[in-house]
Amino acid sequence: MLRLTELRLPLDHPPEALDAAVAERLGAAPTRYSVFRRGYDARNPRRIMLAYTVDAEVRDETDLLARDPRLRPSPDMTYRFVAEAPEGLADRPVVVGTGPCGLMAALILAQSGFRPIILERGKAVRERTQDTWGLWRRQVLNPESNVQFGEGGAGTFSDGKLWSQIRDPFFFGRKLLKEFVKAGAPEEILFISKPHIGTFRLVQMVERIRSEITALGGEYRFGQRVDDIETDPGTRAIRALHLSTGERLEARHVILAIGHSARDSFAMLHGRGVQMEAKPFSVGVRIEHPQSLINLRRFGPNAGNMLLGAADYRLVHHASNGRGVYSFCMCPGGRVVAAASEAGRLVTNGMSQYQRDERNANAGIVVGINPEDYPGGPLAGIEFQRRWEERAFEAGGRNYRAPAQRVGDFLAGRASTTLGEVAPSYQPGVTPADLAPCLPDFAVAAMREALAAFDRDLPGFAMGDAVMTGVETRTSSPLRIPRGEDCQSLNTPGLYPAGEGAGYAGGIFSAGVDGIRVAEAVALAMTGGGPVRSSGRPKDDSVTYG
């Protein structure tokens, strides 16, 4: 098979045009071909182009490769397990957390015969969904079952984006996408350039993956939080986990995939001497515009084309005060959701369904935060986040309604008393307010400057009636738990920090890929295998990409 890249065709091309483009690039018609990737170039909204990557089968492959330097062999995308559990292996690995990282780690271990035990502090995904709606509809927060905690992780209530900026030399990402399709995701995620799933489909997929894991000998335990770890006094190697149920669970290989909001777990690990360090993250607000405006600005006369769907955007500005401001987790045709996990604190996030057909577009507009902004050690970033979450809770009315402000008022430095054309989607509702006291002064200044810059890039972005809802604080983990090449904690052997919570991923895709990598490390450690295969990481772990 040969891989052909950058086959560019007009958005409205007929099907046979791709056949002709492939034949022209090869100099002859292929025996067969398949589309590996399809993206679009919308830099000129009046002349949007589709860009294809194609795998083609030809009879004279060797001759073609010799004649045309633009051609290359299609890479082998087959996933191969690094180790299988020996017959009669009594030791069982433990996976803590069932977000994308823990889910894929448990699946790989189960498929390799290791019969993992999976611990989840929250509830199964459908029960968890009911608790989440309890906050959205009745203003009742369950601290152990919400947008952050429960089967599926925070990504369950998101846009379900499945793309990232990681490099993936061993095709872990392809394995993830194929498993998701097997679990019910649309097959298009295998070839479109910015695949997404949406919340409702994610719920079904999580259940189906759980069914496969349990069928292969895995054991799920919901409502079981890890309250303490027990280590060997001499080597510091992990020996057991102490659970919220009172059970002492012996464990020699523990994958820690707890997500970026398990603040009590971070404090426990820090108290037990597990090495960790502060890292950058970001804080800001959610901004909403009419999706029709974003479609028009991005796609011009092609807005509404089925191949393009609802338009997204990615905006970045370097403010004069030295702060970076960027759009985060953009959700086309979606809604802003309540994402608190602690009483008396307010957090926002964004989500979309697969159809992306709701009235508003929303995205985080966030400002980079560095460890120098919150001195005091690896847990100080958590206290920094809490400070602004508490102020937002106060500004919203202390009832999980969120403070919201018109962009025009925010730019003018005055509180909003009413909202305008853009109706906020956040539930359980908003309170018109001034968002400036809910964020650091430097962040407010940088955001005001950035909104004007974004309006130049995307006219209408700073429209007066666009609505900002605060606060967005859980962009990524405020700390990292360092690990070695074998994926184990640097000073606690047998503990495998993984995913977003450990600072090694940002979003569903990269978290799932990291789960695969760490599962392989555990499988190799339990069987005495060779070195761990390396996989990609986000270019900047302070940014969530998926």
- CB contact at 8 A, 535 and 166: yes
CA angle 427, 429, 434 (to 5 degrees): 125
pLDDT value for 538: 43
**Could you count the other beta carbons within 10 Å of the beta carbon of residue 191?**
17
| Extents of the domains making up the chain | 2-73, 94-277+477-527, 280-472
pLDDT value for 165: 66
Residues in the chain with pLDDT < 70?
A: 165-170, 535-546
Q: Under 8 Å CB-to-CB from 158, ≥6 apart: which residues?
A: 199, 202, 329, 331, 349, 350, 351, 352, 508
- Taking CA atoms, 277 is separated from 81, 96, 490, in Å, by 32, 21, 12
CA angle 312, 475, 185 (to 5 degrees): 55
In this chain, the answer to whether the domains covering 2-73 and 94-277+477-527 adopt an identical fold is: no
pLDDT value for 541: 41
Give the global pTM: 0.94
Which contacts of 265-268 are long-range, i.e. CB under 8 A and separated by 24 or more positions? 265/225, 265/226, 265/501, 266/378, 266/379, 266/382, 266/479, 266/501, 267/379, 267/382, 268/226, 268/227, 268/228, 268/229
- Give CA torsion, residues 526, 507, 261, 445, to 10 deg: 150
Q: Look at the domain 2-73 and name its fold.
A: Alpha-Beta Plaits (3.30.70)
Query: What span, in angstroms and rounded, lies between the C-alpha atoms of 339 and 135?
Result: 9
pLDDT value for 167: 64
For residue 386, the cross-strand partners are: none
- Give CA torsion, residues 209, 213, 219, 222, to 10 deg: -10
Tens digits of residue pLDDT in 463-474: 999 999 999 999
> Element (H or E) spanning 204, and its range?
helix 199-215
Structure tokens at 193: 């350039």
Burial class (CB in 10 A: 0-12, 13-18, 19+), 334: buried
For residue 310, the cross-strand partners are: none
Name the superfamily (CATH) of residues 94-277+477-527.
Answer: FAD/NAD(P)-binding domain (3.50.50.60)
Per the listing, tokens 């996030």 go with 349
